[in-house]
C-alpha cells in the first residue's frame, strides 16, 4: 500500500474520530466487532513494514482471544501508533509489536527504541491538539484513547531516553453458552470461565432459547436423553458445537451413542471445559 494512501487513512481516522468525540455519542453497536489482534496484525504486516521504513519491525503476536473493537478502528489505531513510533526514529531503529492473552482480555504493546518523551510531554500526550511536531494536528493519541475507552479498554504510555512503550488493554468478548441441565447447581463453576451462560432445564425450553439467541456452544447433560435433544437441535438447523457432561467416562458414553463425541466428566473442571468448548483440538 502506498505511503500516501496510508497517511490519508490515518488523517481520515483522526478527523472522523474528532467529529465523533465532540458530538453526541451513539448507543448503537457496530456490526462485526469481534476480532483477534494477531489476525489483524498479520493482515496489516505488509502495510506496517512499508509504513515503518527504514525501521526494523519485530512481530510477536500470540493472542488467541477475540476483542470487541470495530475492525477499521483497530487497524488504524495500530497504524497510527506505528507511525508515531517511526517519527521518533528518523534514522531507523526497532519497533516491536506484541499482543498477548491475559486473564480477562488481550494486551497490545507497541514499543520503539526512539528518543522517548520528557516528563512534561508524557503528562500532556493525551491532551487534544497538543503536539511536539510543527505540522501535526495533535489529536491522534487523543482519538486513540477515546476509541479504546469506548470499547472498555485502557491505554498507558511508558517512556524514557531509550524509547517509548504504548500498552492497550482490550477486554475479551465473553462467549455465550447454553446449558441444558435439570440441576443448575451442577454448573455453578461455569461462571469461572468468563462466559455468559443461560440455563434451561429441558430440551423444549432450550429450543425456544436457541430461536431467540445465538450461542457459541451448548453444554448438555447426557443423562437427560442427550442424544434425542441433540438430534432435535440439528433437525432444526442449528450447528452449534455441543459438549456432553456425564458421570461416565468418555468411552462409555461414546459406546452408548455409537459415535465420537465431546464429553466432560463430572464434577466439571472449568479450565478443561473451557478448553474443549473454545479450543476443540484439545482432547481431554
DSSP summary character for residue 114? S
Most confident of 42-46, 66-70, 136-140: 42-46
Question: Sorting pLDDT into bands at 50, 70 and 90, what band is 19?
Answer: very low
Distance of CA 29 to the CA centre of its chain: 16
pLDDT at 251: 56
Whole-prediction pTM: 0.64
pLDDT at 155: 94
Q: Which residue has the higher pLDDT, 277 or 124?
A: 124
Question: Is a pLDDT exceeding 90 seen at residue 95?
Answer: yes
Cell of 1: 500500500
Q: Which residue has the cell 448438555?
A: 220
CA distances from 187 to 18, 86, 191 (A): 46, 50, 8
Task: Show me where the domains of the chain are located.
Answer: 3-171, 175-278
pLDDT at 159: 92
Q: Which residue has the higher pLDDT, 161 or 24?
A: 161
Cell of 84: 508515531
Give the pLDDT confidence of 152-168 residue by residue, as tens digits. 889 999 999 889 999 99
Question: Is a pLDDT exceeding 50 seen at residue 27?
Answer: no
* pLDDT mean across residues, the chain: 78
Cell of 44: 496489516
pLDDT at 253: 57
Question: Sorting pLDDT into bands at 50, 70 and 90, what band is 280?
Answer: very low
What pairs with residue 172 in β-bridges? 67
Question: Sorting pLDDT into bands at 50, 70 and 90, what band is 120?
Answer: confident
pLDDT at 103: 79
Other C-beta atoms within 10 Å of 29: how many?
A: 9
Which three-class secondary structure state does DSSP give residue 100? Answer: strand
Most confident of 95-104, 192-201, 270-279: 95-104
Q: Which of 113-127, 143-157, 201-215, 256-270 has the lowest mean pLDDT?
A: 256-270
- Contact yes or no for 163/113 (Cβ under 8 A): yes
Kindly state which CATH superfamily the domain 175-278 is placed in.
Response regulator (3.40.50.2300)
Q: For the chain, give the percent of residues with pLDDT over 70.
A: 70
Is CATH 3.30.565.10 the classification given to domain 3-171?
yes
Question: In terms of DSSP bridges, do strands 242-246 and 195-200 run parallel, antiparallel, or are they unpaired?
Answer: unpaired
Amino acid at each position: 500500500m502506498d505511503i500516501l494512501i496510508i497517511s490519508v487513512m490515518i488523517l481520515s481516522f483522526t478527523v472522523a474520530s474528532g467529529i465523533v468525540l465532540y458530538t453526541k455519542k451513539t448507543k448503537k453497536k457496530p456490526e462485526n466487532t469481534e476480532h483477534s489482534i494477531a489476525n489483524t496484525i498479520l493482515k496489516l504486516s505488509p502495510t506496517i513494514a512499508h509504513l515503518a521504513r527504514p525501521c526494523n519491525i519485530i512481530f510477536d503476536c500470540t493472542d488467541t482471544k477475540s476483542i470487541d473493537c470495530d475492525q477499521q478502528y483497530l487497524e488504524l489505531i495500530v497504524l497510527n501508533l506505528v507511525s508515531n513510533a517511526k517519527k521518533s526514529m528518523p534514522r531507523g531503529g526497532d519497533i516491536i509489536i506484541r499482543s498477548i492473552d491475559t486473564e480477562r482480555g488481550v494486551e497490545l504493546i507497541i514499543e520503539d527504541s526512539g528518543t522517548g518523551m520528557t516528563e512534561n510531554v508524557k503528562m500532556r500526550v493525551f491532551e487534544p491538539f497538543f503536539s511536539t511536531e510543527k505540522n501535526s494536528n495533535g489529536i491522534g493519541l487523543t482519538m486513540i484513547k477515546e476509541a479504546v475507552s469506548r470499547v472498555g479498554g485502557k491505554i498507558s504510555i511508558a517512556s524514557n531516553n531509550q524509547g517509548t512503550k504504548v500498552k492497550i488493554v482490550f477486554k475479551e468478548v465473553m462467549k455465550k453458552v447454553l446449558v441444558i441441565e435439570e440441576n443448575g447447581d451442577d454448573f455453578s463453576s461455569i461462571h469461572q470461565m468468563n462466559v455468559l451462560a443461560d440455563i434451561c432445564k429441558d430440551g423444549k425450553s432450550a429450543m425456544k432459547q436457541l430461536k431467540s439467541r445465538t450461542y457459541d456452544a451448548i453444554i448438555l447433560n447426557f443423562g437427560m436423553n442427550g442424544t434425542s435433544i441433540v438430534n432435535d437441535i440439528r433437525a432444526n438447523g442449528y450447528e452449534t458445537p455441543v459438549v456432553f457432561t456425564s458421570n461416565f467416562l468418555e468411552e462409555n458414553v461414546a459406546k452408548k451413542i455409537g459415535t465420537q463425541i465431546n464429553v466432560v466428566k463430572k464434577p466439571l473442571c472449568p479450565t478443561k471445559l473451557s478448553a474443549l468448548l473454545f479450543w476443540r483440538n484439545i482432547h481431554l
